[in-house]
Structure 1
Amino acid sequence: MINSLALTGPGLVHRLKVAGPTATVVDYSPLPAIGQGDDFESFALVAQNGKLAALWADRGPGADRPATLYTAPLTFAPWGQPQFGTVTRRAYRAAYPTGDGTRHISDISVTDSGRIIVSSAADAGDDGPFDSAVSDAGRVSVSAAGRVRVTLAASPSVLGTFPEYKIEAVECLPGSADAGPEASWANAERIRAFDAAAAFGVDVTVIPCGHTARHGYAAADAVRDSGVTAVVAYNDLVALGAVTALEESGLRVPEDMSVIDCDDISLDDLPSSRRLTTASLARDELGRQAAQTLEALMAANGDTEPRVIPMDLRVRHTSAPPAVPAH
């Protein structure tokens, strides 16, 4: 028997039990947030840290109205009714296609690592012409406490365009992951640490980004708009791009915004006043431990203990205590 959820266009969520060719409605519930004129075509679930969250979207029909992406924690009553927690809303406008007939979100899927993949479609009528795209819209995460965070990319990355076709469904295969920082083990561990820090009152916003200075530069607007006081960048290059864009926007680093990276690569061409505060890892020791681990794996047929290599926080010129608001 399979348990599943189905969403209707007006916003009713049905919990179904499917046995063979028969689907039985166990219970249903209206979505907790329905905007005026909303028409829903997409619904997705994400499971992380033993918690469940739901994503759904009004399709946003046309150039004058973007889609609205909704997210909320999801649980079930003992009798089977879906129950939603606090809802967050984000506006989303498709990068492609554009025009009056565009449905900015025609479907949603989420990878195992939390990337939000959306399809967008345009049609002038039932007989076309059609146009479609699949885009990387951002990221969603669910903490061990059940808190849902969603961050949409300032400029969605178009993964593929499909002229003459109308895509109204998209699905990521089980085990789907992503190339780059979002798929890296190290990045996942950092996000896990940030989620744990929430228990100590640290408010963390995860902003999708790549691994180059150009990516850091492009993410700076989202950083500034988020209201945070400090940035922990994926690596030195991302940090340098962010510093450049933040200062061009009028913010001072570190007086208004601290920027810290996790890399400590050699950047000897930088002036001493721009040395980055960094979490540094001893690469020689990392290589030595990796070789020893490989030898142990080969000798013990795959059985070896995890090894922990401490990192060193090197405070330099891009970090400072948060500014105290004037009274």
Structure 2
Amino acid sequence: MTRILKDERGIALVMTLFALVLISIFSITIIALATSNYKMTKVDSKNQATYYIAEAGVNYIIDQINREIQEKANTYKSSVEFFKHIEDMFTKGTIALEDFKVNNGDQPKAFVTVSNVGTGEDTRDYRIESVGIIGDSRRTVEAIISISWFKEAGGWPPDLLFSTNKFKFNGSDFNAPGKTMVISGHGSSSLNGNAKLNVKNIYFKQLSNGIRSGRTYGDQNDPGDIFLDGDAGTLDGGRIIYGNVHTNGNFKMAGGATIYGNLYVDGKFEVAGGVNIYGDVHVNGDLIIKGGAVIEGDVYVHGNGDIDADGGGRIKGSLYLEGSLVIKGGATVEGEANVAGNIDATGGSRIKVILF
């Protein structure tokens, strides 16, 4: 993960995070079926909880380093001075964290160490190792961060968490409420299949292969904006986005994909069956709605774009269309359809048309 922070003196810092999870292997002796099942369930639950404690330790240290960068970057005139400050703060011993809720009578703890694993004039790499402990259960999570010192920067929002050309996250939850992140060259980035990227604003620059990894993007509790640069490709099935989505190219949503927010597509937009969009949709090209897709809000197709809807696709709000409409196969517009061009409605489709 790369981190670039605004610096009024013209200094930016880049942080790279690559999370590596070391999974512990547990064995249990089976004495009796009922007893062993109970013990296995209990051990599995504690094992999972211990992993979250270890992960929390890594996130805590990254957050603390982030705070130091934001608060102290302008204090130091050189990278040598700044890195000395970081190392004095974080690499001199083990950091013990115990501010966790008691788990089945055991007090969870995390012991975190930070070590320098690569040194350069303007770039240094650090390994963060967090050992989570609950009773006799231990789990370890590691991250490697790279902090680089640049002489020039600017134009970044003050809430920027990081900007990266290569983002890899193998954990479960990446939490940065109220923050903004920029991911460039998305083809070289990846997330764990069930990872949740809980970040308010996300910019995908030079996006070409679509969003095919991870589980959720955006902050469900405080949704912001998700920007997809270029022909965004496909939002794969099962992916969920919280926040308003903006694309400046063509965009597809595969079956099972969901957006909680408004969608703005500066190009052609294709929606597959099983897609749900809980907001309004604005399209500057053609709109194709396949069977079973549901758009909860209003739909605006600007310019010369046309709509082809079939197979039970539903627009629950109203439709505003300057081009032509083809609706068939049980497709439905539940609100008013304001259509300037030609209309071809067949096959059990339902629509209330207002011509303009």
Q: TM-score, normalised to structure 1's length?
A: 0.33
- In terms of Rg, which structure is larger? 2
Q: TM-score, normalised to structure 2's length?
A: 0.31
Select the structure that is richer in strand.
2
